[in-house]
Structure formats: structure tokens, C-alpha cells
Amino acid sequence: TGMFTYDPGFVATASCRSAITYIDGDKGILRYRGYPIEQLAKEASFLEVAYLLMYGDLPSAEEMTKFDNTIRHHTMIKETLKSFFDGFQYDAHPMGIMVGVVGSLSAFYHDSLDINNPRHREISAHRLIAKMPTIAAASYKHNVGEAFIYPQNDLDYCENFLHMMFSNPCEEYTPDPVAVKAINTLFILHADHEQNASTSTVRLSGSSQANPFACIAAGIASLWGPSHGGANEAVLDMLNEIGDVSQIDKYIAKAKDKDDPFRLMGFGHRVYKNFDPRATLIREVCHEVLANMKGNDDNPLFELALRLEQVALEDEYFVERKLYPNVDFYSGIIYQALGIPTSMFTVMFAVARTVGWVAHWMEMMDDPEFRIGRPRQLYTGAPMRDYVPVDKR
Ligand code: CMC
């Protein structure tokens, strides 16, 4: 294969050294900075995890208060940025809005261009974490034709997000504690996952010394695809299409048929070949949300998903290929129960993953081995040939 190692999809290439997230795909282990995901998901707050991912250790009480206040301080977006939203078609996909609006932040914060100054890098990271929920909720409000809701900084991160999503100028929405807890857990579970496609995109973009807002916009674009973060939306579309347990066998057959492009969405993972520990935790949250939120105790989609999982896990095709439910198999059902529309699911993922993206970007910018990412290729085109004028071709 010539001078270079050929590794399509980078299944055997480590692109960097990183001290942030540890995964053992065969054993189903996921740790952030050494802490098991199960402990963080059950006990930590999302901002605590954000601090951990960014700075390497859990914060002391004092550090936490300072970090929390800093993030609250940056939740607003400029009024001129707000007017950006009006340029989008009313039915624009919110992920399309996110790519554009987040990318535009560098035009508002010129210090973000000064990427060689660590303090400016840190401020950009804080701004991104703080403003993502505001921008995400604004993209939703644009879709539903409602007024933009300002952040309310006495609320915590997850409450504030729900407030901006569901309050309107005539009526204040009081978030259900079950919903706040579920969002907190989901955000923690989605916060980082080492060198996945979108994080690698952020790193590769940043390796040219591009500004952090542009890099995160590139990450959002990569996340949107249905093989990656777009899977949570695709799972719900799939469950709706299947519609009923009686149709499961038909769709399992379609998923196994190599001539049919249909794949079981929310199933399979590049790294987890045993189970995805996030899926186990999310299934539990799903039970909790459906049992405790009014009107959701009898959720046919959840029943369908549980049955679909069971059928697939007993099927030789899925067993042989080690295909298990991944993080996105149940997340959409939870979001739907919380009243979040399908088109916003991947946006929710983007809000949470922003923490991982900025942590990786900051780690890379501090790395003494840091250099521009520049993969090579195996050329498969025509050999040298001479130009022939058009009238002679
Ligand atoms: N349904 C049916 N067959 C599948 C599926 C699926 N969901 N996933 C993998 N396979 C088959 C695939 O056809 C291949 O079969 P064969 O060996 O006969 O050719 C084998 O399993 C290995 O798959 P692969 O495509 O080589 O695996 P990959 O590591 O390149 O892809 C994946 C991983 C996640 C893109 C893939 O499993 C998939 O498309 N899953 C559905 C989309 C999804 O749920 N994505 C979310 C990933 S987790 C959230 C995130 O971090 O973004």
C-alpha cells in the first residue's frame, strides 16, 4: 500500500495523546478523567463535569462557585447576534441554524482570534459553554414562531435551558425537577467521548490555528450526520415508522439485508463491542422519566424500543457483529417525554458535547507535540498524461 499506512475510518490510528476520556470498548468502560461514568451520571452536576473535563480534576466548593458564576455571567447573546435568527426560514432545521450562529460568534468576540493567549482561549471556552443553551433555545423559538426568552441567571444550567425553551413572555414555565434531573444526566452522558468524528473534526480544524468558534461550528456540522449525533433523531423517526411491535420482524430483516440501506438506528458502535455503558444508564433514566412525568406512564414508543432491543439482541446477525444499543437508542424517547421536539434532539447532544469539544481543543492547544493535522492518501487516479486541445478530444 505504498509509503503510508492505509486506515480508512481511522480504526487503528491514534491521532493524539489525551488525558481526558478513557474507553475500553470490549469491557464497556467509560471514564472521564478517571471517574466512572456511572458515578458521575448519578451524582455530579453537568457543570461540575464540565469543569472536570476542562481542567482535569473535580472542583473544590470554591472553584465550583467561581466556575458556575463565570458561566452564568456569559449566558447572554448580543442583540445583534439575536437578529441573525430572523434571517433563517421559519422551518429551518435547528442544527443548520446552530452551525451558522455558533460559527458567527468569532465575528462578535475578536479576542477569540488571539488563540496564542491561554486566557483568551479560556474565555472563548467559557463563552461557548455558557451560550450554547441560549443559542439552542433561540433556534427552537425561531422554529415555533415564539419570542426569544432571555436567560435567567438565578437558575442553574439545565433549569435555565428548559426555561429558555418553554417559557414565553405571557407565562413563566417552572421546570419539573424530574425533567431537570434527566437533562442533567443526559448532558453528562453526552459530554465527551474521546476522538469521535465531531471531536476529531474540532481538533483537525483547530490544528490549523483556526479560532474556537469556527472549530466548534465544524464539530456541530459533523455531529449532525445520522451515523453520529443525528442518530437520536433518526431513532425516533425509525420507531414511528415501525409503529407497532407486530412490524419488528420486518424491520429486523431489512436491517440485516445488505441490499437495503436501512440500519437499525441507535444500534452499533465503532468502539463498544460489548455494550455501551451510556445506553444502560439512559434506559434507567427513561424508566424514571416515564414513571414520574404525567401523561407518559404508558409510552408505546418505549415499549416498542424495549421489544426491538430484545429481538435484536437474540438475533444471530446482531450477536455475531457485536451490535448493541448505543447512547442514542433511548435518549430520544426521554427528550420526547420532556416535550422536546425531534428536530432538537441533535441540538441537545451538541449543547452537551460542546464541553468535550472545548476540553479537547484546549488540551490540543497546550500540547507540545501539537502540529497541523495533515493526513496523506493513496493516489488511485490516472497516471501522467498530456493535455489534448478540445477539438482533438
Ligand atoms: N444495523 C444493521 N447493521 C449494522 C448496524 C446497524 N445499526 N451497525 C453496523 N452494522 C453491521 C454493518 O453492516 C457491518 O456488517 P458486515 O460486517 O456484514 O458488513 C457490521 O455491522 C460492522 O459495521 P460497520 O459499519 O463496519 O461499523 P462502523 O464501526 O463503521 O460503524 C456505526 C459504527 C455507529 C456508524 C454503525 O454501527 C451505525 O451506522 N449505527 C447506526 C447509527 C447510530 O446509531 N449511530 C450512533 C452512534 S453512538 C452516538 C455517537 O457517539 O454519535
29-32 β-sheet, strand order: 21-24, 29-32, 35-36
pTM here? 0.95
Report pLDDT digits (tens) over 87-119.
999 999 999 999 999 999 999 999 999 999 999
Q: Averaged over 360-386, what is the pLDDT? A: 95
Report pLDDT digits (tens) over 132-176.
999 999 999 999 999 999 999 999 999 999 999 999 999 989 989
Q: Determine which residue's CA is closest to atom 17 belonging to ligand 1.
A: 321
Q: Averaged over 237-248, what is the pLDDT? A: 95
Counting residues of the chain whose pLDDT is more than 70, the rounded percentage is 99
Closest CA to 183 of 339, 294, 20: 339
- Pocket test residue of 37, 190, 227, 349 for ligand 1, highest count of atoms within 8 A of CB: 227
d(CA 136, CA 9): 30
Q: Determine which residue's CA is closest to atom 12 belonging to ligand 1.
A: 321
For residue 88, what is its C-alpha cell?
433563517
Q: How close is the Cα of 264 to the center of ligand 1, in Å?
A: 8
d(CA 112, CA 105): 9
pLDDT surpassing 90 at residue 278: yes
- Which residues' Cβ are closer than 6 Å to ligand 1? 9, 193, 196, 227-229, 231, 255, 263-270, 321, 323, 326-328
Q: How close is the Cα of 315 to the center of ligand 1, in Å?
A: 16
- φ and ψ at residue 325, rounded to 5 degrees: -60, 140
At position 185, the amino acid (one-letter code) is T
Give residue 258's Cα distance to chain centre. Answer: 28
ipTM of the complex: 0.95
Active-site choice (126, 190, 193, 269): 269
Closest CA to 283 of 325, 224, 223, 317: 325
- DSSP state letters, 179-220: HHHHHHHHHHHHS--TT-HHHHHHHHHHTTT--HHHHHHHHH
For residue 244, what is its C-alpha cell?
407497532
pLDDT surpassing 70 at residue 345: yes
For residue 20, what is its C-alpha cell?
481526558
Sequence-ordered list of residues with C-beta below 8 angstroms from that of 351, at least 6 positions apart, any chain: 132, 133, 136, 161, 187
